[in-house]
Amino acid sequence: MNNKTYDCTEGLEDGSDPCSCQDCSKACGPKPVPPPLPPPWTIFGVDAMTVIMLFLFLVNATCCETLGERFENALRILFSSWGSFCVRHPFLVILACLMLVAVSSGGLVYMHITTDPVELWSAPTSQARQEKDYFDSHFGPFFRTVQLIITTPLNKTFMYSPYFGGSDVPFGAILDKDILHQVLDLQLDIERLVATYEGQKITLKDICLAPLAPYNDNCTILSILNYFQNSHAVLDHISGDQFFVYADFHSHFLYCIYQQLFLLEKALAWEKEFINFMKNFKNPNLTIAFSAERSVEDEIDRESNSDISTIVISYVIMFIYISLALGHIQSFSRVMVDSKISLGIAGILIVLSSVAASLGIFSYAGVPLTLIVIEVIPFLVLAVGVDNIFIIVQTYQRDERMPQEELHQQIGRILGDVAPSMFLSSCSETVAFFLGALSNMPAVRTFSLFAGLAIFIDFLLQISCFVSLLGLDARRQEENRLDIICCVKLPEGQTTKTDGFLFRFFKKIYAPFILKEWVRPIIVSTSLTHFEIGLDQKLSMPDDSYVLDYFKNMSKYLHTGPPVYFVVEEGLNYSSPDGQNVVCGGVGCNNNSLVQQVYEASLISNYTTIAVIPSSWLDDYFDWVKPQSTCCRYYNTTGAFCNASGKFLPSVNVGKQRPVGEDFMRFLPMFLSDNPNAKCGKGGHAAYSAAVDLYSNNTEIGATYFMTYHTILKESPDFINALKNARILADSISQSLDHKVFAYSVFYVFYEQYLSIVYDTALNLGLSLAAIFVVTTVLLGFELWSAVIVSITIAMIVINMFGVMWLWDISLNAVSLVNLVMSCGISVEFCSHIVRAFSVSLKKNRVERAEEALAHMGSSVFSGITLTKFGGILILALSKSQIFQVFYFRMYLAIVLLGATHGLIFLPVLLSYIGPSVNKAKVFAANQRYTGTERERLLNY
């Protein structure tokens, strides 16, 4: 009793070091403090985003008039000649277009759709993807999980009083013994499930994780019934006499809680059987939410299939509207003559052909498709293509043929007038989307590539195939032949050409009202710029999915975060004391070692999201191998290892020091193969057999990992913050070790995109706006100020899209980023046609020029893109898919409404105030061209 005691900060007489910080709080330095939050971004003390948005309205520029007129004239002549050629040789042009589409679409036989979330959201060159590949190659892929969260509708609580004294302990209804028996029955039934794969019977034992194999092939089932050896008899076992029960399942449970990848196809088959079993399982006393590894992907596939009908109805409505709205009916008797149903259908087929050609060309190149491409690009190209179709057809319907002018010359002249505007919008969108392909996000990059090519092909088909079809349809109409049934001809009759209702409304009522002196100052635009980053995985599920119950219960009941591994790449010498000290966390280890830094991070878990000290194979190896331990034994004669549960044999003689050099590598494989047991709980087989990558005949150590857990993570911001802070910690550890260490968790590869989503969004939208500005400047005849106005209006639409996202709780993620990039492209359609019409107008002042542009182009934009899309979008609100309702219905509706209000209300007013001055060179050239012709009277009208 006279032995000297030592403080935990003191070393022993034999030279042993003091205790480590983890075992002795006095040995620790000051408790780590989270860094302060970064200050808000301001410019001159004002919120930076507010300053930037105000600056957008204050930009100014000028341009060269003569050069612009010559370029404009060159485009007009080029498209006029081409339009005339297409009308004169329609069948040749149509045949050539059909061959182009057929050859391009032939690539669809090589089409491959990517559904793997890793491939979809993470680039192969991204940090998280490379770290995942490194982890998988050295330690094997992360195991698949099947989870049940079990509650009960019963509402009763039992107070248990321990026989040997102590406080009463409340046991809820879910821990009632009868309920536990029912849960055990369910667990045993699941273990006995048999699936079939290629004629072979698959059980859980064939695919489960068995960390003690081959000595013990029991599956890893994390269940409360493990405390009772998964046995009804053990659960019912009691200890006592005829008077008192000393111990039963209550005391056993309290004692336990106070002690503290396989063939994929087979796993998928068994999981499918498990899901079917759970869907049919009924027990009035149990409420079960469940999920398997394949559940999310299965439900997304089911969601996609269930929404096919909704998407088809949406497109059918748009198709019907286009087919009927293109016609300009002069009288009831000429309904079938003046209708353009066949031309409308042809226009729709051209749009779909351009999409098929784009998919085919990239399929030839081996670029995989994604569901976003399939679902979004037809919508986008239909928006752009329909707008152009309405502009061509309605301009022809409003035009009067000049004296001695033939049909091919008239259509050529019309194409010369409108094609530069179509070329402007299509070229701007194509360049903007191709620049969007610079994104590191695979989903955004793939979408941008397919969209850019589809829009460009659509433009080519419209100015060739559609113009030829328009010429054929015009001849049919002039010959009084019926639409669709063109072989039937009506008798000749006198017809009076009138303007359409929508054109008259825009020209006589809407445009004059919008541009009244007292109305213009009232028209303003507001912007909101706050939004949340991330994607709630519940949105990817159908409303009736069983997985939604699982997500809900997981958020409510789960109190464990996901595991996180700190991976030390190969090259560190663990056999040397220096190499050991920079990693381990016990006596003699560095104060800034890997284990110590992770431990310190766990002290401020609210900030770092690191929950607990990591499990350290190195520290457990030292405990396992020390002479005082009963773990490490081997046969002196053969050197073979003997488990502690076997016959007693001499201990390893390594003294009080750690093993180093050859001794370290000699006993390490024994440690990693030793199963824990009652005599030695430090055996490393179960916990660390996959944590140490041994190679060169077990003589060298490659990569290793040290596992801990994140705190409870529920929402996207929690996961994003966990990833960010884990990387900060890993970088700090790497600097201390002077060796590469990275953090890895299974969810990192999905959430890495959100670390740079704001940058990617700014880059993509910035490049898109820059492309639109440059292309618009060139194709508007170097009218720099017109390009500025187009860019400002589109920027305002995008800014307002962010406001809508905030109001409608739409988070910023890859799906919404695709929609934002698409909104840039579609916004060009709402703006560029009106700005170009304003720039070529020959009226005497800005207000009259804006009124003329709005009257002539506004009606086509409204009847084309706005009404077409509005009807189709409303159907998407009926979708069962939450992701369709949120990211497609809401965002598409916002794109159309914001584009229409900015393009048809704000933009004309802006032009009436600060629109570019009349290009005198263009006015002079136009006057010379039309003087003395019928066209001069029409222009004055």
State mean pLDDT over 386-398: 80
Q: How far apart are CA 480 and CA 491, in angstroms?
A: 7
- Say if residue 342's pLDDT is above 80: yes
- Say if residue 904's pLDDT is above 70: yes
- Say if residue 304's pLDDT is above 70: no
**Number of residues written out for the chain:** 941
For residue 909, what pLDDT band results from cuts at 50, 70 and 90? confident
Q: How far apart are CA 576 and CA 581, in angstroms?
A: 9
Please give the residue that has the higher pLDDT: either 228 or 259.
228
For residue 639, what pLDDT band results from cuts at 50, 70 and 90? low
Please give the residue that has the higher pLDDT: either 939 or 278.
278
pLDDT at 306: 54
Q: What is the SS3 assignment for 915?
A: coil
- Say if residue 382's pLDDT is above 70: yes
In contact, 381 and 452? CB cutoff 8 Å:
no
Q: How far apart are CA 736 and CA 584, in angstroms?
A: 13
Q: How far apart are CA 472 and CA 494, in angstroms?
A: 21
In contact, 348 and 90? CB cutoff 8 Å:
no
Q: How far apart are CA 513 and CA 507, in angstroms?
A: 10
Q: How far apart are CA 701 and CA 692, in angstroms?
A: 7
pLDDT at 685: 87
Q: By CB neighbour count within 10 A (0-12 exposed, 13-18 middle, 19+ buried), where does 478 fall?
A: exposed
Give pLDDT tens digits for 403-444: 778 888 888 988 888 888 788 778 877 887 787 777 777 777
Tokens of 490: 């009506």
The mean pLDDT value of the chain amounts to 79
State mean pLDDT over 258-273: 68
Q: DSSP label at 657?
A: S
Please give the residue that has the higher pLDDT: either 935 or 417.
417
For residue 59, what pLDDT band results from cuts at 50, 70 and 90? very low
State mean pLDDT over 16-43: 76
506 Cβ neighbours under 8 A, 6+ residues apart: 854, 855, 858, 859, 862
What CA dihedral angle connects 666, 669, 670 and 672, to 10 degrees? 150
State mean pLDDT over 639-648: 58
- HSE at residue 341, side-chain half, CA atoms within 13 A, is 11
Q: How far apart are CA 575 and CA 650, in angstroms?
A: 24
